[in-house]
Amino acid sequence: MITLAENRYGKSRVRVVKVKRHPDRHDFREWTVEILVEGDFQSCFVNGDNSKILPTDTMKNTVYWLARNSLAECMEDFGKEVSSFLLDRNPQISAARVTLSENTWEHLHTDGKPHPTTFVQSNNERQTAEIRAARIGVLSVRSGFENLVILKTAGSEFVGFIKDSLTTLPEMSDRLFGSVVRARWNYSSPDASFVTLRSAIRGVLLSVFAGHTSKSVQHTLYAMGEAVLANVPEVEEIELTLPNKHYLLVDLGGFGQNNPNEIFVPIDEPHGYIEARVRREG
């Protein structure tokens, strides 16, 4: 017997910009939204009956319509608005997942102060959020960021690892440690202070990365996650991905020069890939 199993559909990469015009300044936000819904769609998949299908184009328009009057100050709250709206108007939808990312824009500084209506992107870091809402069950919120490029030039080593017939990597007691961090964490409540907590979590992660005496990427990753859970009780668990972006010491001996750990060549590929989820027990 053949039957339809897990399925979902929706709209991806809905890009929306909102300008909030205050008397003394403008606020500028750029979000990319993905909506995926689950529900009673078997008649569409199996029989081609679209009578229970909300067009994905309508989902796109829903994002723009809600954004117009939304009071949300962050992606998490806007995602909650979108998921609630879809469930309220569509009884055939049993669950909705709204995933968002934000391109961070900052006020351009001129003459030592922020310009009220001019903005700049200083890096490629993206803030993320994922909201899961269902008719049965508890709404959940997952926040995070990705593409945060970090590097330290001290406090990192890698020694004592397995060495077999295929090992060529030398032990390193003082190496560069670079990564492009992705972090995602779950809140214990869907009504947390998302903006404040996002800033606090990011600050903890960066502070630990900078100050931790690293025996390996794994060692530092766990220390970062552990510190978030120890300092931010609103977080239930955190998942971290830290690719190890290698910087290889250049051998200058053939040119009659020494290299006192100063000249390196960056290697993007291949690179180490380390991820883990750190959570509370009990």
* Confidence at residue 201, expressed as pLDDT on a 0 to 100 scale: 98
Q: What is the pLDDT of residues 179-202, one digit of tens each?
A: 999 999 999 999 999 999 999 999
Based on the residue annotation, tell me whether 107 is a catalytic residue of this protein: no
> Among the options 60, 80, 245, 246, which is catalytic?
246
Q: How many Å separate Cα 77 from the centre of its chain?
A: 16
Are 217 and 272 in contact by the 8 Å Cβ rule? The answer is yes
* Confidence at residue 278, expressed as pLDDT on a 0 to 100 scale: 98
> Among the options 11, 60, 80, 245, which is catalytic?
11
> Among the options 56, 58, 153, 241, which is catalytic?
56
Q: How many Å separate Cα 254 from the centre of its chain?
A: 44
DSSP state of 4: -
For the chain, list residues with pLDDT below 50: none
- Euclidean distance between CA atoms 265 and 259, whole angstroms: 12
Cβ partners under 8 Å of residue 5, min gap 6: none
* Confidence at residue 137, expressed as pLDDT on a 0 to 100 scale: 87
Give the position of tokens 């001290």: 154
- Euclidean distance between CA atoms 33 and 82, whole angstroms: 10
Based on the residue annotation, tell me whether 56 is a catalytic residue of this protein: yes
Exposure string of 18-31, with b = 16+ CB inside 10 Å and e = fewer, is eeeeeeeeeebbeb
All structural domains of the chain, each given as residue ranges with its CATH number in brackets, are 9-137 (3.10.270.10), 147-279 (3.10.270.10)
Based on the residue annotation, tell me whether 246 is a catalytic residue of this protein: yes
Cβ partners under 8 Å of residue 64, min gap 6: 16
Give the position of tokens 């668990």: 237
* Confidence at residue 123, expressed as pLDDT on a 0 to 100 scale: 87
- Euclidean distance between CA atoms 271 and 52, whole angstroms: 46
For the record, the structure tokens of 190 come out as 């869907």
Q: What percent of the chain has pLDDT over 90?
A: 95
- Euclidean distance between CA atoms 231 and 204, whole angstroms: 8
